[in-house]
Chains A and B, each alone.
Chain A
Amino acid sequence: MGNTWTLTKVRIRLALRNRAFFFFSLVMPLLFLFGAIFIFAKGSASWVGYTLGAILTLTVMGSFWGLSVQLVTFREQGILRRFRIAPLGAGPMLASSILSNYIMTMPTVLIEIVICRFAFHMHSWGNLWAVLILVTAGSAAFSAFGLVVASVTNTMQETQMINNLIWTGFLFLSGATIPLAVFPGWIQRLALFIPATYLATGLQSATTNLATWAEIFTDFTALLVGLYVAFEVSRNLFRWEPEAKVPRSAKWWALAAMIPFLLFGAYENLYGKRLDRIQNNFRVLEDRSSSAQPSVPAAPPSSASSR
């Protein structure tokens, strides 16, 4: 644990010295938040919580990109091989990536919640504890998915290509950008096999206060199991050396990281009530929105008051 914490502290310091980190971890998520609220919340405070859930999902899922790219860069530049000489295993290297990423994601998450509550008049704080629990599990799980990608790619180009493919699925089929409830039934069923769906539905239910603890628990469990499997896969496939190419069998192991979600997806499709819950929540929000007075400004408060 000592080595993990030592590395975590250094990783945080290194990130804070990097301007790109501030852009991708703070500026970009906040730009998304403002854009999404003005476009999707439709001037209704009822939708602010729902949109916040989606933006928190994007913020947390960003770990996936950041960590895979960082690990491959470190390997390509020969940085990892310097660490290999030290009495340090792959576990602390990977765990410190996840932990430092989590610590650095939390301020953005909190800022986003505070902005929605005070600037966009979100009705309540939502189920804040549930949000924090899901953000924690989600950040760790998506970091681990990124590490799996880094374990099975040899070059940065390959990493970017695979990231783009996976990211597109995460982005558009999980409900993080387009509400899952508006999709045809077969896409909704397909979405149940995607890890991001569990994070997006969980967070959207938590920020709108429309989920029971039992429902939150299933989302949390799905993410936690995903984290465990992905971490173990990436630890076993970890490569320190730039020239160490990934064996073909490793790619099958990487797919094994998705097994929990194939099982969760199959269960939800056969016996689960998740799709009903998604539809119900969406209807409740539409009802609230149509019965309530608009309370969210359609333009930024400062420009609205100046007109």
Chain B
Amino acid sequence: MSEVIIQVEGLYKNYGVVEAVRGVSFSVLQGEVFGLLGPNGAGKTSTVEILEGLRNRDRGTALVCGLDPEGAGDAYKQRIGAVLQSTSLPDKIRVEEALHLFAAFYDSRADISQLLKRFQLEEKKNTFYSHLSGGQKQRLALAMALVNNPQVVFLDEPTAGLDPQVRREIYDIIEELKRDKKTILITTHYIEEAERLCDRVAIVDAGRVIAMGSPRELKQRSAGTTRIEVRLARPLRNGELSQLEGVADCRVLDGTFVLHSSRPPRTIVDLVKRLEAENNELQSLEMFSPSLEDVFVELTGRRLRD
């Protein structure tokens, strides 16, 4: 049985009157990739920054590698690595220089040339930070998070703002870390990222964990239904499409009807018949396998990107 590396119980954090984190609890096992999935402002970054020791909590307990991040000081920092959501480096620092600089602060140091190779930064090792692309900067941030061979790596929105191609490159790197059995806590609002990278996911909304489990377990909560998204030429009364054959759930999100159906072909045939009878038209129809987005929509009635 794997050891628990991160243990969080009843975590609370307020900023004035804003309750950013409201009783978050979860645990992460050694070698596990654990994701905090939720929309912007859900409390993911506050949670992870409490665990990184960057913020103090108001209530609750947090233990990482057996240490309380709050006030554990340098001994704790020696054991963790982190990619922060918003950070930078001096414009005129070179890639290799930055890695050597940060490695120098730690007792345990990774081989810098190996890191450059692993993160495909060898050719850029003498390049100034300001001359790197967004993807290269993020690869450097990941490499810097590993300069001390950390026991736990925190990745706060590691692919936010990157284009899909670069995002996939970063996924490959994180998957490699996963194969190395690194314990990783990742925050994201990308469904694909959580599904592809995480062993377990906690879905966070408005400062609370609203569901937790492996991506597969969570998707099973959608009761094996297929999501059908429909846009119509003329709007229908709310709830009218829920009477279609096989439809288990129907909601309207941003003018799109989102249906969850256990028998998609029958639902579509029934839908087309209904529209013809009412002299209405389909503008678009898309079908999706169950995803964590569906779980989030079912639990909150909102999309993750809202």
- Residues of A bordering B, CB below 8 Å: 2-3, 6-7, 10, 13-14, 17-18, 74, 77-79, 81-82, 84-89, 241
Contacts and interface: CB of A to CB of B under 8 A. Distances in A.
- Which 5 pairs show the lowest CB-CB distances between chains A and B? A87-B74, A87-B77, A17-B92, A82-B87, A86-B105
A84 B52 CA distance: 10
A88 B101 CA distance: 12
Interface of B: 52, 54, 73-75, 77-78, 80, 82, 84, 86-90, 92-93, 97, 101-102, 104-106, 128, 144
Contacts of A17: 92, 128
B92 A18 contact: yes
Given A6-B101, A85-B52, A78 B77 contact: no
B interface majority secondary structure:
loop
A82 B89 contact: yes
Contacts of A7: 101
A10 to B, nearest CB: 5
Contacts of B52: 85
Greatest chain B CB density within 10 A among A2, A6, A81, A85 is at: A85
A10 B97 contact: yes
B105 A87 contact: yes
Contacts of A74: 90
B77 A86 contact: yes
A3 B105 contact: yes
Between B52, B54, B87, B106, the greatest number of chain A beta carbons within 10 A of the residue's beta carbon is seen for B87
Given A6-B104, A85-B82, A87-B78, 20 more contacts: A2-B104, A7-B101, A10-B97, A13-B97, A14-B90, A14-B92, A14-B93, A17-B92, A17-B128, A18-B92, A78-B86, A82-B87, A82-B89, A86-B105, A87-B74, A87-B75, A87-B105, A87-B106, A89-B74, A241-B54
A76 to B, nearest CB: 10
A51 B256 CA distance: 78
A18 B130 CA distance: 13
